[in-house]
């Protein structure tokens, strides 16, 4: 975008110099365009630096040994209704299904459930250990010419052991804590999905609004003023104002696109969607 705008300014500088040599305009306009060109050159340099830094950061995340490796992006910054990375969840997907997917697939939920199940097993074990073990015995003996059969039943009097309930109470408390942690984790996951969905939907609405209400209008106004300037019907100030307005609108729109893409990846993270899967709503 910055390079395209700079090319348009260079074409206008060439045109204004030709018109100046033909005596149609004063020498002020070519000089003013040359000064104005500096603004767009700065945009080009800034965009180039941002792209190089982002490329190096991406290579570092991928573990590349060459952080200066040059490559071209294949996924253009475009509205989410366009081409998207496979697996990217779309904001029009059903909220309840995304929350259910998150509750089934997020690792934190699995860990909390495992802790709860382990605590519940410990509780059952301690309750089983508290129950008395009844011992039954018996035998035969021969005394004074008589055969005698003896039987015995041993029942521990556990109610006399004051420490008998301690392990059970402790296990019950640990199970309740684990259950509460599971509930809290489920609530937190549902909240994260809800907030990520909110951000994705608002970001989508922002992109659509800017595209519908401002970007097209600013571009058409710039093109009309440019055509009028080439015909000599408007002065340079009008064109520069229209060009600046379009540039500011384009910047705002590009930022909105960037924020929308980030919100979609945040929604992916909240849902726990695998990056190699197929996104819902595609």
CA 223/CA 86 separation, integer angstroms:
36
What is the C-alpha separation between 271 and 126, in angstroms, rounded? 38
Separation CA 54–CA 250 (nearest Å): 20
Q: Compute the distance between CA of residue 121 and CA of residue 129 in angstroms, rounded to an integer.
A: 12
What's the CA dihedral at 114, 115, 119, 124 to 10 degrees? 0
Phi-psi map region of 144: left, alpha, beta (phi>0 left; psi -120 to 50 alpha): left
Q: Using one digit for the tens of pLDDT, what is the confidence trace for 82-124?
A: 434 445 555 556 778 888 888 887 888 888 888 888 888 888 8
Say yes or no to pLDDT of 277 above 60. no
- What does the domain layout of the chain look like in residue ranges? 1-74, 75-271
> What is the share, in percent, of the chain residues with pLDDT greater than 90?
5
CA distances from 173 to 122, 123, 178, 271 (A): 11, 9, 9, 31
Which CATH number describes the domain made up of 75-271?
1.20.1600.10
In terms of pTM, does the model score above 0.75?
no
Between 66 and 128, residue with greater pLDDT: 66
- Length of the chain in residues, anyone? 282
Separation of CA 95 from chain center:
15
Per residue in 143-202, pLDDT tens?
666 776 666 766 666 555 555 677 778 888 888 888 888 888 888 888 999 999 899 889
Q: What's the maximum distance between 2 C-alpha atoms anywhere in the chain?
A: 149
């Amino acid at each position: 975008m910055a390079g395209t705008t700079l090319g348009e300014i260079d074409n206008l500088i060439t045109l204004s110099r030709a018109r100046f040599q033909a005596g149609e305009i004063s020498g002020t306009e070519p000089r003013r365009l040359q000064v104005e060109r500096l603004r767009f050159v700065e945009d080009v340099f800034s965009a180039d630096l941002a792209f190089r830094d982002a490329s190096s950061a991406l290579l570092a995340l991928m573990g590349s040994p060459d952080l200066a490796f040059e490559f071209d992006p294949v996924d253009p910054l475009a509205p989410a209704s366009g081409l998207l990375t496979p697996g990217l969840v779309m904001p029009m997907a059903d909220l309840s299904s995304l929350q259910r997917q998150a509750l089934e697939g997020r690792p934190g939920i699995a860990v909390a459930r495992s802790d709860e199940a382990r605590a519940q097993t410990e509780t059952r074990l301690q309750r089983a250990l508290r129950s008395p073990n009844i011992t039954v015995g018996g035998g035969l003996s021969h005394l004074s010419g008589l055969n005698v059969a003896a039987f015995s039943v041993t029942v521990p009097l556990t109610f006399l052991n004051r420490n008998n309930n301690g392990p059970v109470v402790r296990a019950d408390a640990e199970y309740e804590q684990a259950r509460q942690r599971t509930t809290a984790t489920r609530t937190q996951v549902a909240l994260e999905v809800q907030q990520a969905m909110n951000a994705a939907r608002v970001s989508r609405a922002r992109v659509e609004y800017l595209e519908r209400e401002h970007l097209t209008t600013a571009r058409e106004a710039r093109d009309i003023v440019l055509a009028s300037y080439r015909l000599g019907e408007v002065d340079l100030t009008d064109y520069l104002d229209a060009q600046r307005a379009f540039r500011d609108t384009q910047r705002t729109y590009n930022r909105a696109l960037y924020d929308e893409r980030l919100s979609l990846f945040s929604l992916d993270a909240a849902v726990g969607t695998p990056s190699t899967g197929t996104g819902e709503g595609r």
